[in-house]
Amino acid sequence: MTYKRAGVVWFLIMCYIKLSSPAYTKNSTESIDDLVTTLFKEDGSLLLNLKWRARLNPGTNLDVIINPRGEGCSNKPCSEYGLPGNTTEITFPKDVGQFIEYGQCTFEPGCSYFVKVTTEKRHIQRNLTMTLPGDCYLGICSCRHFKDLPIPDVSAGILDSNSLNISWTIPPLKSKLLERNVTLNSVFISISQGNTQLLTWGGKQSSIYSHFYPLNLTTYNHSTTSKHHFNLSTKLVPGSYYIIRAHIVDVRGCRSRESIFTLPVRVTKNESRQSTESTSSKNSPFHDWKVTELLEIVLRQVDMSAVSTFAVAMQIIQDFCLHILLNGNRITKAFSVQLGNRTLNVETQHHLEYVAHKPALDVGLLCSLMPPENNSAHTDITQDDSRKMDVTHLPMSPMIR
């Protein structure tokens, strides 16, 4: 029993020595206290100032991390790592380092934020949760409701060679927006010219016009329609496409999701014939080429020395629109043909390094059919649209050896 008692006493003495040593007492002497948050407005944005008191051992660095909490709040954190241990104040996003991307570190009314100041090894830290009340704070308002804003239904038509008619319909506001006293301010309309409709973004685009139209709405329980006449500074370009975009802006400056309408400018037969006569080669091997099938067009025995005249072959089809896009050693050919009561859209690509080693080429073209009355493609990028074209993919024809 004497030995056992002596062992217990020795164990207690060793524990006391270890707990009294600097290695085990530093957590009791180091601390981060009095963490205080202050929100203020500067240049139309909300900034957060953090202050604290710290007692840390030399060489200890600090990390400051702010994570948003709440549905619809930005999930991009504010953070700064490796601050000197004697730092006692920082402002977000004003004083953040180069690792914070633009637009990530923001503070929105109606959102909560978990604020943490900690040492790099996380053995000392101070936390708090900060909540911004309501939809607006210090004159800055949240746009978390933007998904509920009405999306304008925009459409357009050609009046003459240099003017368009554009109309838009604004659906009624959802009840949840009325309850939050959301008021619509304007509708933004922009017009740009693209060079192909087969690419969803219209291909290469050039801006033509943009403007905010005020909304003088007294009631929001039914749809409203507006129509405007646009005189363009230049004539409409045959074979090009005009892309009309529209979105709503409310009094808080929040914008709705966007609606897009694509308006093609058809090439007339005379313009097509003139283009063919000016660009085609008399020795082209395609003079006798005929379209025999709507769903598959096969080009056989193409002399690869005539690659430059390949696209010209498309021009023997009347009433079409042809676009050629060059991208490095890849050539993309796209055109549409009016045949009977249907419009045939075709696109094919060739890799020049590959075809240069082939004496002949078969190409099965990918086709999509749409009704002739749908002479423009309307796409709402935020919702599924039943009016999108039905695309049928065809198998490639075998290569001729």
Q: What is the CATH number of the domain that holds 242?
A: 2.60.40.10
Total structural domains in the chain? 3
- Residue finishing a domain among 224, 247, 264: 264
Residue 63 has pLDDT above 80, yes or no: yes
Instruction: Give the pLDDT confidence of 283-314 residue by residue, as tens digits.
Output: 333 333 333 332 233 333 333 333 333 333 33
1 belongs to a structural domain: no
Residue given tokens 């859209």 in the structure block: 345
Is 48 within 8 Å of 66 (Cβ atoms)?
yes
Q: Per-residue confidence at 48, pLDDT binned at 50, 70, 90? A: very high
Q: Which of 277-286, 289-298, 356-365 has the highest mean pLDDT?
A: 277-286
Predicted pLDDT at 37? 94
167 belongs to a structural domain: yes
Contacting residues for 349 by C-beta, under 8 A, at least 6 apart: 330, 331, 332, 333
Residue 214 has pLDDT above 60, yes or no: yes
4 belongs to a structural domain: no
Looking at residues 250-265, what average pLDDT do you find? 90
Instruction: Give the pLDDT confidence of 142-155 residue by residue, as tens digits.
Output: 888 888 899 999 99
Mean pLDDT of the chain: 66
- Residue finishing a domain among 141, 162, 181: 141
8 belongs to a structural domain: no
Predicted pLDDT at 347? 55
* Surface-to-core class of residue 243, CB atoms within 10 Å of its CB (0-12 exposed, 13-18 middle, 19+ buried): buried
**Whether residue 110 is found in the same domain as residue 155:** no
Predicted pLDDT at 96? 45
Predicted pLDDT at 320? 33
Residue 92: strand pairing partners: 48
Residue 31: strand pairing partners: 55
Q: Per-residue confidence at 328, pLDDT binned at 50, 70, 90? A: very low
Domain extent, residue 388, equals 269-392
Is 115 within 8 Å of 62 (Cβ atoms)?
no
- Residue finishing a domain among 264, 279, 295: 264
Q: Which amino acid is at 83?
A: L
d(CA 33, CA 51): 9
Which of these ranges, 26-35, 44-53, 56-65, 127-136, has the smallest mean pLDDT? 26-35
**Whether residue 160 is found in the same domain as residue 250:** yes
124 belongs to a structural domain: yes
Predicted pLDDT at 175? 80
Predicted pLDDT at 135? 82
2 belongs to a structural domain: no
Predicted pLDDT at 267? 67
Is 144 within 8 Å of 110 (Cβ atoms)?
yes
**Whether residue 239 is found in the same domain as residue 218:** yes
